Amino acid sequence: MAMPDKVKTHADFPIPDTMKAWVLGDPGELTLKDKPVPVPKKAEVLVRIDAVAICATDLEIIYHGPPAQIEGGAPHNKNFTPGHEYMGTVVALGPGVDEYEIGERVTVEIHAGCGQCKRCREGMYTSCHNYGQNYGDVDKGHRANGFTTDGGFCEYQVNNINTLVHVDDSMSDEEATLVVTAGTAMYGLTELGGLVAGESVVVTGPGPIGLLGVAVAKALGAQPVILTGTRDNRLEIGKKLGADYVVNVRNVDDTVEEIKRLNGGKGVDYVVECSAASNAINEACQMVNRGGKVCLAAFPGEPPEVDVAHLVRNNIYVYGIRGEGKSATHRAEAFMRQKRFDATLIHTHTFDMEDLKEAIRYAKDRVEDAIKVVVKNKHAQSQKIAAE
């Protein structure tokens, strides 16, 4: 492919004119089509996508539309390619880019903030005030790959340099797709919550974010770390990731009292709510001690009733978290590089990109108790074999 003069490429990484990309039609309908390979602009690189993890939010987008917004509305039948938890190899540099090198392995964050609003200037680009205000005009500012612009269920994608995280060669492609999930937990516990060593944490819901929330909390020195859920096999994974105690909520009469018993008779300092259960917010608020913090990392299906009087009387802080702001993914990658925890424990299945529909079925229906399902592009493996 002939790139513009100011875009740097390398003969070792030939770039085609078109690529295979999964395109969303009606709800739940994905079709593999040809799309032009995008061209990086100023402060952007072109990433050859090597692997993509399937997120629960991808399933929401594919089957229901929100939270993706394309051209100001639902993404169906707008030539949209979903997928946001991807990693790959830098194959072209946009004008002026020298922060990364061609051939470098990277994983990507979702959000590139506008860089101009108050939140972006504070480093909270996942809370960009201009989110979704620039449909079809990414030069105006904010973009969220896989939400407001095309995502990663394809072969190539452009990314702003601010969304890239270097991936150490000790990590497999599959592990690298999990950096963003760990970064989300890191953001909630450190940047927003302010967790310090020795404080107590409960994580409710052993999904991908919950399980890596356990891992991050323990790596940060939390004591104790308690994981609650309903599936014993996932709770066992939580133990391997650092949980001091696990609680199957179906086996106890009162979950809140059990949490307090395990924490020496008092509430904990933090709860990271990842279950989205209808009563989860109120239970979380009962689990924390006065002055404690509750991080909401899940999307309940219906608006829950909340005991606000209890929050006020006990000076409890409740905050929502969207994505992985303040470069928390860089710290998560450092923890994973140092083997402070084994994120691969939540990776359960791998498929070829061309088998995306089957991979989605595994993720959606939890076939063989799938947790994190990853799809990989064959071109990456072919080039790796050729290099060897």
Residue 325 to residue 187: CA distance in whole angstroms: 6
**Is the residue at 229 inside a domain?**
yes
**Is the residue at 50 inside a domain?**
yes
> What confidence tens digit (pLDDT) does each residue in 31-68 have?
999 999 999 999 999 999 999 999 999 999 999 999 99
Residue 29 to residue 65: CA distance in whole angstroms: 12
* Boundaries of domain holding 41: 18-110+145-166+342-387
Question: Which pLDDT does position 372 carry in this prediction?
Answer: 98
> What confidence tens digit (pLDDT) does each residue in 228-283 have?
999 999 999 999 999 999 999 999 999 999 999 999 999 999 999 999 888 899 99
Indicate if 162 and 209 belong to the same structural domain: no
**Is the residue at 4 inside a domain?**
no
- The predicted model scores a pTM of 0.92
CATH code, 99? 3.90.180.10
Structure-derived torsion over alpha carbons of residues 217, 220, 225, 229, reported in degrees to the nearest 10: 10
Indicate if 303 and 347 belong to the same structural domain: no
pLDDT at 2 over 80: no
Indicate if 313 and 374 belong to the same structural domain: no
**Is the residue at 225 inside a domain?**
yes
Q: Please check whether residue 2 is in contact with residue 121, taking contact to mean a CB–CB distance below 8 angstroms.
A: no
Confidence band (pLDDT; 50, 70, 90) for 383? Answer: low
**Number of domains, the chain:** 2
**Is the residue at 160 inside a domain?**
yes
227: nearest Cα among 207, 247, 197? 247
Residue 299 to residue 94: CA distance in whole angstroms: 36
Residue appearing with tokens 């939010």: 57
Indicate if 378 and 250 belong to the same structural domain: no
Residue 213 to residue 275: CA distance in whole angstroms: 12
CATH code, 218? 3.40.50.720
Indicate if 208 and 252 belong to the same structural domain: yes
**Is the residue at 199 inside a domain?**
yes
Indicate if 188 and 315 belong to the same structural domain: yes
Indicate if 162 and 37 belong to the same structural domain: yes
CA angle 170, 355, 58 (to 5 degrees): 75
> C-alpha 223: how far from its chain's center?
25
**Is the residue at 176 inside a domain?**
no
Query: How many residues does this entry show for the chain?
Result: 388
Residue 295 to residue 202: CA distance in whole angstroms: 10
Strand 225-229 versus strand 111-112 pairing type: unpaired
Indicate if 104 and 195 belong to the same structural domain: no
**Is the residue at 116 inside a domain?**
no
CA angle 113, 49, 112 (to 5 degrees): 0
Average pLDDT value for residue range 90-99: 97
> What confidence tens digit (pLDDT) does each residue in 300-321 have?
878 888 999 999 999 999 999 8
Indicate if 221 and 357 belong to the same structural domain: no
